[in-house]
Amino acid sequence: MILRAALYSLLLVAGSAWAQEAIEVTPLEPLPETEALGEQGPELAPQIHVSQGIAGRLRVLDKITGVVTDLTLALGESTAVGHLTITLGDCRYPTDNPAGDAFGEMTFTYDVAATPIFVGWMIASAPALNALDHPRYDVWMLSCLTS
């Protein structure tokens, strides 16, 4: 038994020494500066042109009752769903793809509180990116209406 434990510890020490010798780290080359690339450099971000919609479609989930409500709000319009008041400030979409990736600027207030519980942009394709964090309601952007 003692011989077996000694053999295992010898293998463990020899194995770790072998592993340390076997690893070879090569440093990464620094990325070239964009100024040095001049006009031949890669494009940093694709240009996306957006247009403003005339209204936006939202979906509201009341997590207590399980009721799902779909809303269509014009820009600047407010509506109440239960205790939540929703105001759509702006709705934009990619000009070349009106059906895709809508994003809306919204304000939510709970009950009659003067301070909003959410002010910001929501993106239809990534609702969890900037979500309303509320124990009762979930709201997400669906699309913009173009006409």
Residue labelled with tokens 């014009």: 74
pLDDT, tens digit, 9 for 90 and up, residues 25-68: 566 666 555 555 455 555 666 777 888 999 999 999 999 999 99
Element (H, E) at 37: helix 34-37
Q: What is the C-alpha separation between 111 and 63, in angstroms, rounded?
A: 16
For residue 139, give every residue at least 6 positions away whose Cβ sits within 8 Å of its Cβ, in sequence order, or none. Answer: 58, 59, 60, 61, 84, 86, 106, 108, 122, 132
DSSP letter assigned to residue 74? E
The Cα angle at residue 27 between residues 23 and 32, in degrees rounded to 5: 155
Instruction: Count the alpha carbons within 13 Å of 115 in the hemisphere toward its beta carbon.
Output: 1
Does the pLDDT of residue 120 top 60, yes or no?
yes
For residue range 90-107, list pLDDT tens digits in order. Answer: 999 988 877 778 889 999
Pairing of strands 84-94, 50-52: antiparallel
